[in-house]
Amino acid sequence: MVNQTIKEPPRALTEVEYKTLPKGATLHRVHRMDHGFAEFNKGKGDATRFAPFYDSSGKIVPSLYATSTLQAAIHETIFHDIRADTEKKYKTIPIEKVDDRMHSELRTMRAIKLVELRNPLLNNWGIEQVQLIGSPSELYHKTARWAAAIYNNFPQAEGLIWTSRQCDPDDAILFFGGRVDEADFELISSRDGQDATFVDDVEQEGAIRGIVIIE
């Protein structure tokens, strides 16, 4: 039973702290092969920590996740659901979960203004980082409301940035569709799940956490 401890965001948030992601910044995404390298999700698929969420008129805001490193991208996607307390014999990922993924390395084409979700700011809002960033998937319906509150309170905010729960101290990022779009990113390189170098990278990251890729 998940302890329902995440508070609702206040109607009016205090001023935020921004981090500007500069033009030319390198980002990484591990995504399904049938999705474009910078294709925004319009609310399809499973819920994530900060998506889907809705604007003030009730429309879904498209979203795009990325990370500052390949390692974080792997841990935040392929290994995301493997809990630390999982028994060793169950710390496995079928190779099919790698086969249908792609690694895309992106470059930002302009500066992008992101809201920092770090402890000093969160404390002003009366919520702790462990609640907003470290909570389990059962509470995603609550954490996504914070993304909505930020989006609706701050029209200049173009996304969120926080410390990856899975791969500290690397950054995880959510871009707000409509304020950021595919044209704001350039593809540097891509590898699909059939690429041996990508599989090797996944296996190496899995070994760090005791996770085995199985046929």
pLDDT (tens digit, 9 = 90+) per residue, 204-214? 999 999 999 99
pLDDT in tens, 113-159: 999 998 888 888 889 888 899 888 899 999 999 999 999 999 999 99
Tell me the whole-structure pTM to 2 decimals.
0.94
Domains with residue ranges and CATH for the chain:
18-214 (3.90.175)
Share of the chain above pLDDT 90, in %: 74
By the 8 A CB rule, do 60 and 43 touch? yes
pLDDT-based confidence at 3, cuts 50/70/90?
A: low
Share of the chain above pLDDT 70, in %: 98
Tokens for 203, please give them. Answer: 């296996």
Average pLDDT, the chain: 92
Mean pLDDT lowest for which of 5-9, 22-26, 34-38, 64-68?
5-9
DSSP secondary structure letters along 31-83: EETTS-TTPPB-S-SS-BTTBS-B-TTSPBPPEEEEESSHHHHHHHHTTTT--
Torsion sign (Cα): 157, 39, 43, 92: negative
Buried b / exposed e over 149-185, threshold 16 CB at 10 Å, is bbbbbeeebbbbbbbbbbbeebbbbbbbbebbeeebb
177/158 Cα distance (integer angstroms): 8
23/209 Cα distance (integer angstroms): 33
